[in-house]
Amino acid sequence: MNPTYLYIDQFISHLRVERGLSELSVEAYATDLTRFADFLEKNGFQSPGEDDTYAILKHLILLRDEGLGPRSRARHLVSIRSFYRFLAEEKILASDPSGLIDFPKTGLKLPDTLSVSEVTALLETPDTATHRGIRDAAMIELLYAAGLRVSELVHLEMRDINLEAGFVRVFGKGAKERVVPMGRYAMEKLEIYITTARPVLLKHHTSRTLFVARAGKPMTRQGFWKMLGKYTRLAGIDKKVSPHTLRHSFATHLLEGGADLRVVQVMLGHSDISTTQIYTHITGDHLRTMHKTFHPRG
C-alpha cells in the first residue's frame, strides 16, 4: 500500500481523537486528501516529501481545470496544508512544503506567474541594438528558460555555460549542483552576448563572472531587480514582477504543458539529487527533450 494513504489514516485518527473534530469535518478532510493521494500515486509519488510544493500546485491547477471554484480549491488547500503540517510535527517530514502556497480569506492565491504572452512581451523589450540591451535580454531569457533563482543567475561563471550541449550548470542552495537545459532562444542570446556585448562591457578587464556591469564588475541582485522592473513597465505588464515570478512561471508553464513533476523538480533544484544521480535517473537527453517539448521557448 502506498505510504501516503497510511499517513492519511494516521492524520484522520489525529483529527478524531486529539482534535475532536466532528465526523462531518473529518469526512471532508478524508475526501480531499484521498483525492490528493490518488493524484500523487498517479504521478509516481510513492510517499509525501519535502519537495512536494509543485506537486501540490499542479494538483490545484488540475482542480481549477476541472471546474472547481476558488472556495472549493481553498478548502482542498486547507486540508493539504493541515496534512503536511501534521507530517512535519510528527517528524515524518523535515519541513512543510505546502507553506509556500498561500491564499487570502476570499479565495485561493497561487504563486504569482506571467502568461506565456506576457513573458514573450517581457523578453522582447530590451533594446538589442545596445550592448547593455543584449546583456539584459540574455539574462532575462536565461532566468526564465532555466527557472533560475536571481542569486544563481548573477553568480554564474563563464565555465558554467555549455552552448554546444545547451546546458547551464547551477549551484543552488546549500551549494548543490544541478544541470539544466536552457533552450535555443537562451543559447542564441547568450552566444550573441558573449561574443559581442560582454567584451565591450568588460572594458579591458578580466572576469570569470558571466554577466558583468560597469568596468567588468559582476551584475548584482539589486541591479537585476531594478533592470527587471524597468522592462516590466516598458512591456506594459500591470503586475508586480520579481525574478521569482519568472521562476514560478517557468515551473507552471512546464507543468501546465504536461511535463513530468519529477523532471521539473530536478530542473528547479528542489530535489536532493546530485549531478551524478541526475544522469543516473534522468538522462541529459531526456531532460533536453522534455524542456524542448514543454517549455514555450525551448
Report which of 39, 35, 113 is spatially closest to residue 75, judged by C-alpha positions. 35
Could you confirm whether 173 is annotated as catalytic?
A: yes
Please give the grid coordinates belonging to residue 94: 523535515
Report which of 298, 259, 267, 270 is spatially closest to residue 284, judged by C-alpha positions. 267
In this structure, the number of other CB atoms found within 10 A of the CB of residue 226 comes to 10
Please give the grid coordinates belonging to residue 276: 551524478
Q: Cell 542564441 maps to which residue?
A: 188
Q: What are phi and psi of 147, to 5 degrees?
A: 65, 40
Per-residue pLDDT at 150: 92
Report which of 109, 136, 144, 101 is spatially closest to residue 250, judged by C-alpha positions. 144
Per-residue pLDDT at 45: 81
Q: State the pLDDT confidence band at 134, using cuts at 50, 70 and 90.
A: very high
pTM of the model: 0.63
Please give the grid coordinates belonging to residue 182: 536552457
Could you confirm whether 81 is annotated as catalytic?
A: no
Question: Which of 173, 203, 226, 239 is flagged as catalytic?
Answer: 173
Beta bridge partners of residue 104, listed in sequence order = none
pLDDT, tens digit (0-9, with 9 covering 90-100), for 189-243? 999 999 999 999 998 888 999 999 987 889 999 999 999 999 999 999 998 899 9
Q: What are phi and psi of 171, to 5 degrees?
A: -110, 105
Tell me the C-alpha distance between 275 and 247, whole Å: 21
Question: Which of 169, 221, 279, 292 is flagged as catalytic?
Answer: 279
Could you confirm whether 76 is annotated as catalytic?
A: no
Taken in order of first residue, the domains within the chain and their CATH numbers are 3-100 (1.10.150.130), 116-294 (1.10.443.10)
Question: Which of 149, 189, 198, 248 is flagged as catalytic?
Answer: 149
Handedness of CA 152, 149, 164, 277 (dihedral sign): positive
Residue 272 has pLDDT above 60, yes or no: no
pLDDT: which is higher, 261 or 64: 64
Q: State the pLDDT confidence band at 69, using cuts at 50, 70 and 90.
A: confident
Q: State the pLDDT confidence band at 87, using cuts at 50, 70 and 90.
A: very high
Q: Are 30 and 12 in contact (CB under 8 A)?
A: yes
CA dihedral 193, 197, 198, 204 (to 10 degrees): 160
Question: Which of 184, 233, 239, 244 is flagged as catalytic?
Answer: 244
Q: What are phi and psi of 180, to 5 degrees?
A: -125, 135
pLDDT, tens digit (0-9, with 9 covering 90-100), for 2-41? 788 999 999 999 998 888 888 888 999 999 999 999 999 9
Could you confirm whether 35 is annotated as catalytic?
A: no
Looking at 39-43, 102-106, 264-268, 291-295, which range is the least confident one?
A: 102-106
Please give the grid coordinates belonging to residue 199: 567584451
Question: Which of 76, 81, 155, 247 is flagged as catalytic?
Answer: 247
Please give the grid coordinates belonging to residue 223: 541591479
* Averaged pLDDT of the chain: 85
Tell me the C-alpha distance between 137 and 38, whole Å: 42
Q: Are 163 and 191 in contact (CB under 8 A)?
A: yes
Question: Which of 59, 135, 189, 270 is flagged as catalytic?
Answer: 270
